[in-house]
Structure 1
Amino acid sequence: MASSYNFSSSLNRSSKKSTVNDPKTCDCGFPARILTSTTPKNPGRHFMVCNEGKCKYWKWLDVEPIQMPLMEVVEGMKAEFVALKTEVEKVKEDMEQMKRKSTLMPLQ
């Protein structure tokens, strides 16, 4: 599922056809439609498609190639954070058990 809006509804048809090499136009020369990804892997990322549905134009709008590896690093860091948080909770539980045991054991 994706939400959308049109880049340039104010352009007339003749100017649409003359902008084939404009990065905001599809391969047909029409203004590309911008959609927003709602997938778990790419939430909120914008991409462009052919507004007329006549060509297979598709392009990420908001991400430069260098940013993709950074996004993977962030995802890895999130997973590591969750793992560390789980480990901290386990250590806390172990400490509580040790405290309970130490209060039950007589001092020598």
Structure 2
Amino acid sequence: MSDPNSYSSSRCSCECQRVCFCGHVAVVLTSWTKDNPGRKFEACPIYNPVTKTRGCRCFRWLDENQTTWQKKVINQLVIERKLLENEAEMLQKENDMLKKEAKMMKVGILQSESVEVANGKEIEGCSAII
């Protein structure tokens, strides 16, 4: 596991939960590192993000090592997902910007119409005086 910070967490559903050397119930995690994408492992639940270390050396893989093509496919899917997430974020920002522009245009049109109405009344009033 090259990046201990790259994983997701879930509780073990089995009856035989292992206790780590710290005395805590070990957690089942999923590695999302390039070397072990999608692999399940069991480890100490205590994690220090500053030192990127666990509370103890409790660690074991829960599944078999992947073949090269499996790693390649999973890593490619992870990259594609990140690209799609970035695209969705950019589209959301563009959508928000377009909504603001549309709102500003409506306000501008309403202001323009009210000025025209006000100017029209003044002109009518002026022509009535003449």
Task: Output the TM-score relative to the length of structure 1.
Answer: 0.49
Larger Rg: 2
Task: Output the TM-score relative to the length of structure 2.
Answer: 0.42
